[in-house]
Amino acid sequence: MSNNFARRAELVKASEVRELLKLTDVNEIISFGGGLPAEETFPVEEMREICNEILSENGAKAMQYAISEGHIGLRQIIVRLMGEKGIIAGVDDILITSGSQQGLDLSGKVFLDEGDVVLCESPTYLSAINAFKPFYPKFVEVEMDEDGLIPEELQKKIIENRNIKFLYTIPDYQNPTGRQMSLERRKAIVDLANQYDIIIIEDNPYSELCFSDNKLPPLKSFDTEGRVVYLSTFSKTVCPGYRVGWVSASPEIINKYILFKQGTDLHTNFFAQMQIASFFEKYDIKKHIERNISIYKSRRNAMLETMKKTFPKEVSFTKPNGGLFLWVTLPEYMNSKDLLLKAMKKGVAFVQGSAFFPNGGHENTMRLNFSGLTEEKIIGGIEILGELLREEVRNSKINVQII
């Protein structure tokens, strides 16, 4: 049979990382690989009650086709949630999506032609790379430091490149590094977007998971020209399995998203939308999120404390103040893929950092997730990694002496 696949189908390859991590599903492996929320944070009993109520009172409506924009009550709740963050929006500025991942896919469909430039943090979210890649863009990576994206580096990349369609950024507890963009840089980046007429795709799934009082306003709250497209989700605050997220944008932009969504899946699971709306109406969401934060903060602390005790001084790592991840930088002579293979033999897995760089390289980095495991497993897994890293350092010193 002749090859009838589109070019984009040829472009899509199985992720080497995911192929390795498939083994974690069948073996007793301590996996720091996935970004899994803690299952004990899921409101199972509350949703059981809500489901019964919806099916008893509005069962047929819950099972019927619905408008693409989404459940009006849920969109009203989202307007309120964003208003608390300083974002002024109306229900018509909101589109409910099948997780924020669909928001990324729709962003590619709305904005990208072949050869267009996507500016992104270096490193950036792996699934955003995969969502944009089928549209054949050119990824231009912008340097970060502990305060997030560096505005001077961003301006330099803007000046050096043409056909820039948008900047993709995760300002709060960035995936994969866990870094938080400073307030000053948020304002500066929006100013640069205004100056050079660039769209910003602001991906904000983690902002509620803040471990301190340092909550910062989204970039969208500084948007005076309608150029920031805001993506978020209920996956980290309620549960990921319902696949309910949203996009907020100016009328001109959101209408394009709606049209492409209609051609993709018509609308997001309406029953799930009704359940989440009811959950917000009936229960104290702030108390629910506070409990989630308490669990994740304790797990982050367990990971960081064990890393400080067991990782060699040649290894550095971020100390996130929220979210689900932290980032590890190894000495340049180490390769995280080789380390992963050794770690998996000892029952531990993680994601090698090179996967988060759209243009490759950076083989001496890795991402660790602390949300999905108990503190006991976190400590045990990090101790194993620490032992392997110390062994790598010792071997490198021996090899240097021999040379």
Q: Is 381 left (phi over 0), alpha (psi -120 to 50) or beta?
A: alpha
Q: Which residue, chain included where needed, has tokens 């959101």? A: 254
Residues in the chain, total: 403
CA distance 298 to 6: 47
Q: What is the pLDDT of residue 190?
A: 98
| Integer angstrom CA distances of residue 269 from 70, 89, 90, 217, 276 | 9, 23, 22, 30, 11
Compute CA 356 distance to the chain's CA centroid, rounded to the nearest angstrom: 11
Q: Which CATH class is domain 44-282?
A: alpha beta
Taking the chain, what is the end-to-end CA distance rounded to the nearest angstrom? 55
Whether 253 and 228 have beta carbons less than 8 Å apart is answered as: no
pLDDT in tens, the chain (403 residues): 567 778 887 777 666 556 655 655 656 899 999 889 999 999 999 999 999 999 999 999 999 999 999 999 999 999 999 999 999 999 999 999 999 999 999 999 999 999 999 999 999 999 999 999 999 999 999 999 999 999 999 999 999 999 999 999 999 999 999 999 999 999 999 999 999 999 999 999 999 999 998 899 999 999 999 999 999 999 999 999 999 999 999 999 999 999 999 999 999 999 999 999 999 999 999 999 999 999 999 999 999 999 999 999 999 999 999 999 999 999 999 999 999 999 999 999 999 999 999 999 999 999 999 999 999 999 999 999 999 999 999 987 665 555 4
Domain ranges, ordered by start, for the chain? 9-42+287-402, 44-282
List the one residue out of 90, 236, 230, 110 whose CA is nearest residue 173: 236
State residue 396's pLDDT score.
75
Can you state the percent helix, strand and coil of the chain, rounding each to 5?
50, 15, 35
CATH number of 9-42+287-402: 3.90.1150.10
Rounded Cα–Cα distance for residues 117 and 194 (Å): 17
Which amino acid, one-letter code, is at 182? S
The whole-number pLDDT of residue 27 equals 64
Q: Which two tokens stand for residue 255?
A: 């209408």
**In this predicted structure, what is the pLDDT of residue 7?**
80
Whether the upstream peptide bond of residue 123 has omega within 30° of 0, thus cis, is yes
Contact 85, 221 (CB under 8 A): yes
Read off the amino acid at residue 161: N
- Name residue, tokens 């996009």: 247
User: 315, 327 in Cβ contact below 8 A?
Assistant: no
| pLDDT value for 4 | 77
Which string of DSSP letters, residue by residue, matches 133-190? GGG-PEEEEEEEETTEE-HHHHHHHHHH-SSEEEEEE--SS-TTT-----HHHHHHHH
- Residue written as token pair 């495991």: 373
Place of tokens 């992963």: 340
